[in-house]
Structure 1
């Protein structure tokens, strides 16, 4: 494969992933990771770091694009939710990234494999069972809600750091279930949690030798990021045109298969 063919493939695959993710309201980073390893032959840690860089670009773009449908002022009454989750997520991201950098490649593959399988099962649950009724918080006691929010944020930070994802797959259902927020607002709030969380993990990964992959694979990063953003924007505009439940189930199966094929060893 020539250099130009590689870049075009990166753009096309990034656009396809962004499109499919956008159709169900996700960025698709969990699907990019197996592709970076299997198609572009990147070591897993390098793929995680590149995936995190792309996810950062997609999240920043999504924050601005969602501002047209969900104005920032409508999110201000929910700022405590963002702070609550960040108390756990930034800690989880910092320590998880430090842990990942110390893992042997074989063990890292096993950890990534387990988390991707878990995400696929969560996607199954989201699209088969749903989140339940919005407007009713899971807990009435403020202290218990805050404690569970911190623990949930900790889990999100760990997953985001290890896989290089934004964590919307976890954040959106957590916000809907724990605080009873409608799913559209929860999607925007999840981005406000994801951005600082990912920045913390990204800064932590600067200590890894694999961080040099951002310079070495700069063209791949740029082309796949552009494709991912374009696909996500088109998918967002088409949101509702395709049955999200069946598409979500299809993507969950696809994630299971790709995780098994790439990381089972």
Structure 2
């Protein structure tokens, strides 16, 4: 694979902008990073997903250091069953999904990415419009919490491995609206679930040689990850001054537009492949 057309400076700046947006809405920004990797940096779908996952790991590690090193650890004792169920299922699904990624052709993967990004965009719009109305008011305890955590974790781990994201955009709403955690506790629990799941995916990709291209990792991944971390910290600092619901509406619309563009791109490639036969 040749070096991408854009260099380290665009990677750093775009990573900072994406991290800023992610920090403002409480996410790592990987769902917005993926369309940039596919568009601005013209990476192939498989390479973009693998690199996105590696940058998600770096961003998660920085977030974990900040949260666990400087903030008080929230009380999670009442929620450990569902958190552990989510984590274990997400790890298993991430390992499976990393293997599945290698077996998907580029056109099919592009369409899957488009569908998943559209789903996340729709979720952002729904959260912004409904807010607390989505809260199920679930209380700690209950036999259903572990099976529900396993099912949710499997889905989240699969999405994580196919998009290269940490999964916080799915984990946090699941914990808040499904299991009744408050936003601060859900953010900490999301890190506990995401870190091992993303690490499993990165390890499997590394074992398969997914990070051998140094120009991609050092020229795009490293500066973009650095920018993402800096931007996320700035976004967290600006959070009290920005209307998050309005921002979610805008970013949800951007994701839907990106998904539509990717779907058309996948359809065009599929049509060209059929015509060449």
Q: Do both share a fold (TM > 0.5)?
A: yes
- Residue number in structure 1 paired with 2:45: 44
Quote the offset at 1:162 in angstroms.
0.5
Name the counterpart of 1:182: 182
Counterpart-to-counterpart distance in 2, 1:205 and 1:66: 27
1:231 aligns with 2:231: yes
Partner deviation per Cα, 1:214-237 (whole Å, 9 max, x = no partner): 564313111111110000000011
Alignment of 1:209-220 (within 5 A): 209-213=209-213, 216-220=216-220
CA distance 1:263–1:207, shift in 2 (3 Å): farther
**Can you list the C-alpha shifts for 1:223-264, whole angstroms capped at 9, x where unaligned?**
111110000000011112110000011000111112222343
Contact 2:7 2:219 in 1 (8 A): no
Q: What secondary structure does 2:213 align onto? A: helix
Matched position secondary structure for 2:131: coil
Q: Structure 1's 133 and 111: CA in aligned 2 closer, same or farther, altered over 3 A?
A: closer
Q: 2:239 is paired with a residue of what secondary structure?
A: coil
| 2:86–2:152 contact (8 Å) kept in structure 1 | yes
Q: What is the count of residue pairs matched by the alignment?
A: 263
Partner of 2:18: 17
1:4/1:108 Cα in 2 relative to 1: closer, same or farther (>3 Å)? Answer: closer
> Aligned partners of 2:15, 2:97: CA distance in 1, in Å?
26
How far residue 210 of structure 1 moved from its aligned partner, in angstroms, is 3.7
Aligned residue in 1 for 2:130: 129
CA distance in 2, matches of 1:141, 1:80: 9
Name the CA distance, whole Å, in 1 between partners of 2:241 and 2:81: 34
Q: 1:187 to 1:73 in 2, by over 3 A?
A: closer
Is there any run of 5+ residues in structure 2 with no aligned partner, and where? 267-277
Q: Does 1:91 align with 2:92?
A: yes
What TM-score comes out, normalization by structure 2 length? Answer: 0.87
The answer as to whether partners of 1:175 and 1:186 remain within 8 angstroms in 2 is yes
Residue 7 of structure 1: how far off its partner (Å) = 1.0
Corresponding residue for 1:159? 159
Closer, same or farther: CA 89–4 of 1 in aligned 2, 3 Å: closer
Moved over 6 A (4+): 2-5
Aligned equivalents of 2:164 and 2:156: distance in 1?
11
CA RMSD for the aligned pairs? Answer: 2.3
Q: Cα deviations across residues 169-211 of structure 1 (Å, max 9, x unaligned)?
A: 1100111122211011101110110000101111222244443
Name the counterpart of 1:63: 64
Write out per-residue CA displacement over residues 133-159 of structure 1, whole angstroms, 9 at most, x where no aligned residue. Answer: 869317x76221211111001111001
Asked if the contact 2:88/2:150 (under 8 Å) is kept, the reply is yes
**C-alpha deviations, 1:34-54, integer Å up to 9, x for none?**
111111111111111110111
Question: Please, which runs of 5 or more residues in structure 1 have no aligned partner?
Answer: none
Q: Is the 8 A contact 2:8 2:219 kept in 1?
A: yes
Q: CA 1:215–1:40 in 2, change beyond 3 Å: closer, same or farther?
A: closer
User: 1:79 aligns to what?
Assistant: 80
3-state SS of the aligned residue for 1:27? coil
**Segment of structure 1 superposing worse, 199-208 or 121-130:** 199-208
Contact 1:93 1:161 in 2 (8 A): yes
Give the corresponding residue for 2:245. 245
Structure-2 change in CA distance of 1:118 and 1:214 (3 Å): farther
Q: Tell me the distance in 2 between the aligned counterparts of 1:180 and 1:216.
A: 41
Name the counterpart of 1:53. Answer: 54
Q: Using the alignment, how far apart are the partners of 2:247 and 2:90 within structure 1?
A: 29
